[in-house]
């Protein structure tokens, strides 16, 4: 077995570790009843939790799963054998403290639908340590399409390993000893998903590196690590700037109050639309690039209209998303399109 990714000493013998804590996800879907679309560079996949009923699986995935597909089915934010049991407990103590102190307060105060800034007095160390742990776990997970760069992953690992403890009491005493520490600049934005809207997302924005930006259900996180220059302002980001001066909510050094931006309902809906638009445009560009590269490889002349026709053949059709955007269907349609291109060019 591999060594634990956190302590680097013990055997990684824990199963069912959450990349993102379950309480952060509970407004997105019930535990073990997850129904998740994962947008990957090559395709879109569908994954379901172990307690989802067979008829719901068929409706969501678009077909009944074979025994092999059931065995291979994995929820992308749950992973086995990356931590030892001791480090899993250490992370759990931090999760429990954040859930009891911060999440409960956010749930109480962020229910107006209006934008505001919450000031969490002497909570900077607790908030920042928790989110460092989540972001770092997203990076070390093999299931999550996100990686910290240039040694930043190791910087966070060492910091977490030094500041997590085997008992909740020891962790609490440690947090109380330096309540205002926020070593790596961090901004946290929150929108209360009171209606359990399943259209929220869990994903990094791969266009940003230090600052790293992640969307995690009700949260948007902006993190600087190591030698990143926070004086280079991030003035706008997918609509957040309509509610806040983003740079004013980047907590750093030893803030007496940790500032959390509560996003208004109108801007949160706009942000989600912008995220989906961006992902759709990225996926369409990818399909066009695949078509052009294959056509060029076989020296088949093609134009923009050929590319648009191929992309449209993928996006058209009334079917399940995972089936529509699967790599298998894309390749089948690519073969059809290339055959038409060969026939057309042979007649020239």
More confident residue, 196 or 313: 313
Q: With bands split at pLDDT 50, 70 and 90, how would you rate the model's confidence at 74?
A: low
State yes or no: pLDDT of 198 exceeds 90.
Answer: no
State yes or no: pLDDT of 197 exceeds 50.
Answer: yes
Burial class (CB in 10 A: 0-12, 13-18, 19+), 167: exposed
Residues 6+ apart with CB under 8 A from 196: 27, 28
The closest alpha carbon to 200, from 46, 24, 59, belongs to 24
State yes or no: pLDDT of 183 exceeds 60.
Answer: yes
Least confident of 52-56, 99-103, 289-293: 52-56
pLDDT at residue 33 in the model: 46
pLDDT at residue 35 in the model: 47
Handedness of CA 263, 265, 267, 273 (dihedral sign): positive
Give dist(CA 61, CA 46) in Å, integer. Answer: 6
Residues 6+ apart with CB under 8 A from 156: 132, 135, 136, 139, 148, 184, 225
More confident residue, 22 or 90: 90
| Continuous H helices in the chain | 22-25, 54-61, 67-72, 85-98, 104-109, 124-140, 152-163, 168-177, 265-297, 304-315, 321-324, 327-346
pLDDT tens profile 20-72: 998 888 776 555 544 444 555 555 555 555 545 455 444 544 555 555 555 55
Mean pLDDT computed over 81-99: 97
pLDDT at residue 344 in the model: 87
Q: What is the phi-psi region of residue 174: left when phi exceeds 0, alpha when psi lies from -120 to 50, beta otherwise?
A: alpha
pLDDT at residue 53 in the model: 47
State yes or no: pLDDT of 217 exceeds 90.
Answer: no
Contact present, 134 and 220 (Cβ < 8 Å): no
The rounded percent of the chain whose pLDDT value lies above 70 is 82
Contact present, 48 and 128 (Cβ < 8 Å): no
Mean pLDDT computed over 139-163: 90
Q: With bands split at pLDDT 50, 70 and 90, how would you rate the model's confidence at 158?
A: very high
269-308 per-residue burial string, b: 16 or more CB within 10 A, e: under 16 = ebbbeebeeeeeeebbebbbebbeebbeeeeeebeeebbe
Q: With bands split at pLDDT 50, 70 and 90, how would you rate the model's confidence at 253?
A: confident
pLDDT at residue 54 in the model: 56
pLDDT at residue 76 in the model: 66
Highest mean pLDDT among 66-80, 95-109, 227-241, 319-333: 95-109
Q: With bands split at pLDDT 50, 70 and 90, how would you rate the model's confidence at 181?
A: very high
Burial class (CB in 10 A: 0-12, 13-18, 19+), 345: middle
pLDDT tens profile 109-120: 888 889 999 999
What are the φ and ψ backbone dihedral angles of 158, each rounded to 5 degrees? -65, -40
Total-model pTM: 0.83
State yes or no: pLDDT of 286 exceeds 60.
Answer: yes
State yes or no: pLDDT of 196 exceeds 60.
Answer: no
Give dist(CA 86, CA 78) in Å, integer. Answer: 18
Least confident of 43-52, 199-208, 286-295, 320-329: 43-52
Q: What angle do CA 331, 272, 186 make, to 5 degrees?
A: 110
State yes or no: pLDDT of 129 exceeds 90.
Answer: yes
């Amino acid at each position: 077995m591999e060594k634990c990714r956190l302590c680097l000493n013990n055997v990684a013998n824990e199963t069912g570790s959450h990349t993102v804590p379950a309480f952060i996800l509970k407004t997105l879907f019930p535990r073990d009843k997850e129904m998740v679309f994962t947008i990957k560079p090559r395709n879109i996949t569908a994954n379901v939790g172990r307690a989802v009923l067979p008829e719901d699986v068929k409706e969501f995935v678009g077909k009944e799963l074979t025994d092999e597909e059931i065995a291979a089915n994995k929820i992308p934010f749950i992973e086995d054998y990356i931590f030892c049991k001791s480090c899993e407990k250490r992370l759990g103590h931090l999760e429990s403290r954040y859930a009891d102190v911060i999440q409960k307060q956010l749930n109480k105060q962020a229910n107006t639908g209006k934008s505001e800034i919450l000031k969490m007095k002497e909570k900077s160390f607790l908030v920042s340590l928790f989110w460092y742990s989540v972001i770092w776990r997203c990076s070390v997970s093999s299931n999550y399409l996100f990686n910290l760069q240039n040694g930043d992953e190791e910087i966070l690992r060492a910091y977490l390993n030094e500041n997590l403890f085997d008992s909740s009491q020891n962790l609490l005493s440690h947090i109380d000893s330096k309540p205002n520490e926020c070593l790596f600049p961090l901004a946290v934005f929150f929108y209360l998903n009171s209606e359990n809207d399943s259209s929220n997302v869990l994903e990094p924005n791969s266009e940003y590196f230090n600052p790293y930006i992640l969307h995690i259900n009700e949260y948007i996180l902006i993190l600087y690590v190591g030698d990143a220059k926070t004086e280079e302002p991030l003035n706008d980001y997918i609509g957040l700037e309509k509610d806040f001066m983003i740079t004013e909510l980047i907590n750093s050094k030893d803030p007496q109050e940790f500032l959390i931006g509560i996003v208004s309902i109108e801007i949160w809906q706009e942000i989600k639309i912008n995220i989906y638009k961006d992902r759709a445009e990225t996926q369409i560009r990818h399909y066009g690039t695949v078509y052009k590269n294959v056509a060029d490889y076989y020296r088949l002349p093609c134009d923009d209209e050929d590319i648009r026709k191929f992309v449209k053949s993928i996006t058209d059709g009334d079917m399940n998303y995972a089936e529509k955007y699967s790599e298998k269907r894309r390749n089948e349609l690519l073969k059809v399109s290339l055959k038409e291109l060969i026939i057309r060019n042979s007649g020239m």
